[in-house]
Amino acid sequence: MTYSDHPDRCVRVVIEGRVQGVWYRGGTVDTAEALGLCGWVRNRRDGSVEAVFSGPAAAVDAMLARCHQGPSAARIDSVTTAPWSGKVGPDFRQEPTA
């Protein structure tokens, strides 16, 4: 996907549970890249993972479904989604902990 100021869908997601130290971010990067999404993923100091997904609605929906599964070592307690209006850049990347 190329950068767009107006993607079909752009969301911010917070995933809670056992999601750090289980390759959640790495798997998210791999899946988002395979789906052609732009955005980022990062650990949060509270133990959750936060991500922004931007791209075609069907690809964002597929990524959100993956967020509910996570890698086999993860335990997903909740996935909270909200619209995101910030810019996300031309690719999908892992960001530092915030």
Active site residue 43: yes
12 is catalytic: no
Backbone angles phi, psi at 5, to 5 degrees: -75, -15
Could you give the CA distance from residue 60 to residue 37 in angstroms, rounded to a whole number?
Answer: 7
Q: Which of 9, 18, 25, 66 is catalytic?
A: 25
**From 43, 45, 66, 75, the catalytic residue:** 43
Taking residue 3's Cβ as centre, other Cβ atoms within 10 Å add up to 12
| Burial status of residue 54 (CB atoms within 10 A of its CB: 0-12, 13-18, 19 or more) | buried
User: Which residues are part of the catalytic machinery?
Assistant: 25, 43
